[in-house]
């Protein structure tokens, strides 16, 4: 699906980003991309933001629109205040040590370390992306009603895929802090999608598992009026506090 075939609503969003950030936004299709879509920010040498996406047919319009919404937030943060989330050695090694204890004598230390690092990196990625992502979904629902059909299909699919985290086998294999954070994050996604789409049944599994209060607290953080120039950082820090992950990362200048 070439960039020119994106739905008109997407092109309007891209124009908003260009006007807000003062730089062009280039949309590029890349068939071997691991993710459905991603953003590459402009650099001093390359004065163009790029949204790169993997062809997924018509749904690619929503994937690109979602990245455009996230990019819109980023370009409005003053350059001297932009920061990137980085891991902390202490938290990383804590997860690795827990994996070693959980599977002592069952897998090698190298396997335990590799798996622990994957869990740690995964929960940090979810922490960094999900809260701002809920904001983006809500903003797109309001700003681009033409995309609601694509959005509804994608959100329902994501909620169904995430249900695996509630299975007992996952609990046996996953470090407790990672598991609880992941379940809470997935619960927030489910309750948010249920409310946005008017489909309460989407949240029932997490409601039954007792995650409703925490999920709604997380959602409220994404809806709060920003008090600083970096609303995404506010969301991430707010979520980290609720999830017990505040010491799992630090913010650094690019």
Contact 154, 136 (CB under 8 A): no
Class of residue 32 by CB neighbours under 10 A (exposed 0-12, middle 13-18, buried 19+): exposed
* CA dihedral (59, 60, 61, 62) positive or negative: positive
Confidence of residue 254 (pLDDT cuts 50, 70, 90): confident
Each residue's pLDDT tens digit, 111-138: 999 999 999 999 999 999 999 999 999 9
Give me the residues paired with residue 86 across strands.
250
> Are 64 and 97 in a shared domain?
no
> Are 38 and 108 in a shared domain?
no
> Are 148 and 198 in a shared domain?
yes
Q: State how far the Cα of 146 lies from the Cα of 152, in Å rounded to an integer.
A: 11
> Are 221 and 102 in a shared domain?
yes
* CA dihedral angle for residue 241, residue 247, residue 250, residue 251, rounded to 10 degrees: 10
- Structural domain tally of the chain? 2
Q: Output the pLDDT for position 238.
A: 98
> Are 58 and 116 in a shared domain?
no
> Are 128 and 228 in a shared domain?
yes
Q: Output the pLDDT for position 66.
A: 98
Q: What is the mean pLDDT of the chain?
A: 95
The total of other beta-carbon atoms located within 10 Å of residue 195's CB is: 15
Two structure tokens written together for 58: 């018509």
Q: State how far the Cα of 174 lies from the Cα of 165, in Å rounded to an integer.
A: 10
pLDDT of 1 strictly over 70: no
Each residue's pLDDT tens digit, 144-162: 999 999 999 999 999 999 9
> Are 127 and 57 in a shared domain?
no
State how beta strands 84-87 and 249-252 pair.
Answer: antiparallel
> Are 214 and 100 in a shared domain?
yes
> Are 133 and 232 in a shared domain?
yes
Q: What is the CATH number of the domain that holds 20?
A: 3.30.2010
The total of other beta-carbon atoms located within 10 Å of residue 37's CB is: 22
> Are 42 and 153 in a shared domain?
no
Last residue of a domain, one of 46, 76, 106: 76
Supply the range of the domain harboring residue 134: 82-252
Last residue of a domain, one of 76, 111, 137: 76
Each residue's pLDDT tens digit, 63-99: 999 999 999 999 999 989 999 999 999 999 999 999 9
pLDDT of 10 strictly over 70: yes
Helix axes 109-143, 231-243, angle to 10 degrees: 130
> Are 61 and 170 in a shared domain?
no
Class of residue 191 by CB neighbours under 10 A (exposed 0-12, middle 13-18, buried 19+): buried
State how beta strands 25-29 and 49-53 pair.
Answer: parallel
Each residue's pLDDT tens digit, 165-212: 999 999 999 999 999 999 999 999 999 999 999 999 999 999 999 999
pLDDT of 109 strictly over 70: yes
Last residue of a domain, one of 31, 47, 76: 76
Both ends of the chain: CA-CA distance in Å? 33
> Are 238 and 196 in a shared domain?
yes
Each residue's pLDDT tens digit, 231-246: 999 999 999 999 999 9
Q: Phi and psi (nearest 5°) for 199?
A: -125, 75
């Amino acid at each position: 699906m070439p960039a020119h075939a994106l739905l008109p609503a997407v092109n309007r969003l891209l124009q908003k980003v260009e006007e807000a950030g003062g730089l062009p936004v280039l949309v590029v299709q890349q068939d071997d991309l691991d993710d459905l879509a991603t953003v590459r920010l402009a650099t001093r040498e390359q004065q163009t933001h790029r949204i790169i996406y993997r062809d997924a047919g018509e749904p690619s319009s929503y994937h690109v629109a979602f990245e455009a919404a996230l990019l819109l937030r980023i370009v409005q943060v003053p350059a001297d205040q932009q920061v990137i989330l980085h891991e902390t050695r202490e938290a990383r090694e804590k997860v690795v040590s827990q994996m070693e204890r959980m599977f002592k004598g069952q897998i090698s230390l190298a396997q335990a370390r590799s798996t622990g690092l994957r869990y740690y990196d995964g929960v940090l990625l979810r922490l960094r992306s999900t809260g701002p992502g809920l904001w983006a979904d809500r903003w797109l629902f309001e700003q681009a009603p033409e995309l609601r059909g694509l959005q509804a299909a994608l959100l329902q699919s994501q909620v169904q895929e995430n249900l695996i985290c509630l299975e007992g086998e996952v609990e046996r294999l996953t470090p407790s802090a990672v598991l609880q954070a992941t379940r809470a994050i997935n619960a927030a996604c489910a309750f948010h999608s249920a409310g946005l789409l008017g489909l309460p049944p989407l949240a029932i599994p997490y409601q039954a598992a007792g995650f409703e209060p925490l999920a709604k607290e997380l959602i409220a953080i994404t809806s709060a009026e920003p008090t600083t120039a970096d609303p995404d950082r506010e969301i991430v820090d707010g979520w980290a506090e609720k999830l017990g992950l505040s010491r799992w990362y630090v913010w650094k200048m690019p």
